[in-house]
Structure 1
Amino acid sequence: MTRPFITLVVAAALMGPALAHADDVSDAIADAQKAYASGDMAGAKQALDAAAQLLAQRNAEGLAKFLPPAPAGWTAGAVETDAAAAAMFGGGLIAKREYTKDDARVSVQIISQSPIIAQMAGLFGNAQMLGAMGKVFRQQGRMAVVTRDGAVQMLSGGTFITIEGNASEAEKKAFLSALDLAGIEKSGG
């Protein structure tokens, strides 16, 4: 058995009493416990995988609360969350929202708990390397960059933020300013 599988089984066993109230996550964990107890390792793994995906979806929804409301004159689209789409980044959580104002469009995307963030840390920790991507600036005490294609990007704790669209650089930076970076970091994002 793999270490993550054993860890989830132990966690599920320890959390059993705390999960007395039924929901989709606790049901999947209970199914995994039953399958494991009966020796059905494939069924236990499948149920734990389902529980992990359901938890990721719930965490992505929690991350979405940090997307800013529409500034004056702008319209905010629906919040999109996706734990599955983050798989192309090696896993993690994504929360995204589109904003429009006349012909201007901005997309704010927050990626959290992804292996790509560890890879980006070296880049964002080195101003010279970051400068090769575009124009470096500081926002709320953190390094950020306006890339050569006009995207605003920042690594904040365990979160990678990207603001794209055809709006002006100043408008994109205003969306970055509207983010509660300390709150995102505190939440584990």
Structure 2
Amino acid sequence: MIRAFAPILAAGLILVAQPARADDIADAIAEAQKAYAAGDLSGAKQSLDVASQLLAQRSADGLAKFLPPVPPGWTAGETETDAAAAAMFGGGLIARREYSKGSAEVTVQIITQSPIIAQMGAMFSSAQMLGAMGKVFRHQGRTAVLTKEGTIQLMSGGTLVMIEGSGSEADKRAFLNAIDLAAIEKAGG
């Protein structure tokens, strides 16, 4: 009877004997814990910094799902997600994609968890300040602005949406319409 189960037992032992593969984030946290326990504060900090960066990258990748799909007749470049790219905005997460149709180009950026959001929040709470930037309008119950340079900017919760490029205002508004702002807010942005 034991011989009949021997292959099954052997397979089970092989599965049990092999540790489950942790992801890079868990590995970096475990390395930080080891370093901390050994009194290596510098090593612990470095491993936690790596874990933090990996978490930011994964969060930025998740942010990309909120970018608009490619409309009929348009083409799109690769989606760019990078926590480091948001450094020019003071940190945070950014997802970005360029779309083109003939000579028209539109770039959509979604930025969240950035200190610039707090700074811009004051501006978006003042219609007069926005009016000095360009043409103010309402979109899905939120205030937006079409700047004098032709960029649409909209704050949605803790997220800044920017749509720019050589495309027409109608093109940019169509891209804005394709963004699920409620879903971004629900996800914590």
TM-based fold match above 0.5: yes
Cα distance in 1, alignment partners of residues 112 and 36 from structure 2:
31
Q: Deviations over 1:119-176 (max 9, x none)?
A: 0001001111111100000011100000000001111111011100101001101100
Cα distance in 1, alignment partners of residues 106 and 53 from structure 2:
29
Q: For 1:65, what is the secondary structure of its paired residue?
A: helix
Q: Residue 142 of structure 2 aligns with which residue? A: 142
Runs of 4+ in 1 over 4 A off after TM superposition: none
Matched, 1:50 2:53: no
Q: Residue 132 of structure 2 aligns with which residue? A: 132
State the shift of 1:77 in Å.
1.4
Q: For 2:143, what is the secondary structure of its paired residue?
A: strand
The letter of the residue matching 1:88 is: M
State the shift of 1:22 in Å.
0.3
Cα distance in 1, alignment partners of residues 112 and 168 from structure 2:
26
The letter of the residue matching 1:162 is: M
Aligned pair count reads 170
Q: For 1:132, what is the secondary structure of its paired residue?
A: helix
State the shift of 1:184 in Å.
0.6
The letter of the residue matching 2:112 is: S
Cα distance in 2, alignment partners of residues 153 and 87 from structure 1:
19
Q: Residue 12 of structure 1 aligns with which residue? A: none
Cα distance in 1, alignment partners of residues 145 and 177 from structure 2:
13
In the superposition, the TM-score normalised over structure 2's length comes to: 0.88
State the shift of 1:87 in Å.
1.5
Q: Residue 109 of structure 2 aligns with which residue? A: 109
The letter of the residue matching 1:59 is: S
Percent identity over paired residues: 72
The letter of the residue matching 1:101 is: K
Structure of larger gyration radius: 2
State the shift of 1:34 in Å.
0.3
Cα distance in 1, alignment partners of residues 104 and 128 from structure 2:
31
The letter of the residue matching 1:188 is: G
Q: Residue 162 of structure 2 aligns with which residue? A: 162
State the shift of 1:91 in Å.
0.9
Give ranges in structure 2 of 5+ residues lacking alignment.
Answer: 1-19
State the shift of 1:21 in Å.
5.4
The letter of the residue matching 1:171 is: D
| Superposition CA RMSD, Å | 0.9
Cα distance in 2, alignment partners of residues 146 and 90 from structure 1:
23
State the shift of 1:71 in Å.
1.0
Q: Residue 9 of structure 1 aligns with which residue? A: none
Cα distance in 2, alignment partners of residues 139 and 21 from structure 1:
46
Q: Residue 177 of structure 1 aligns with which residue? A: 177
Matched, 1:24 2:24: yes
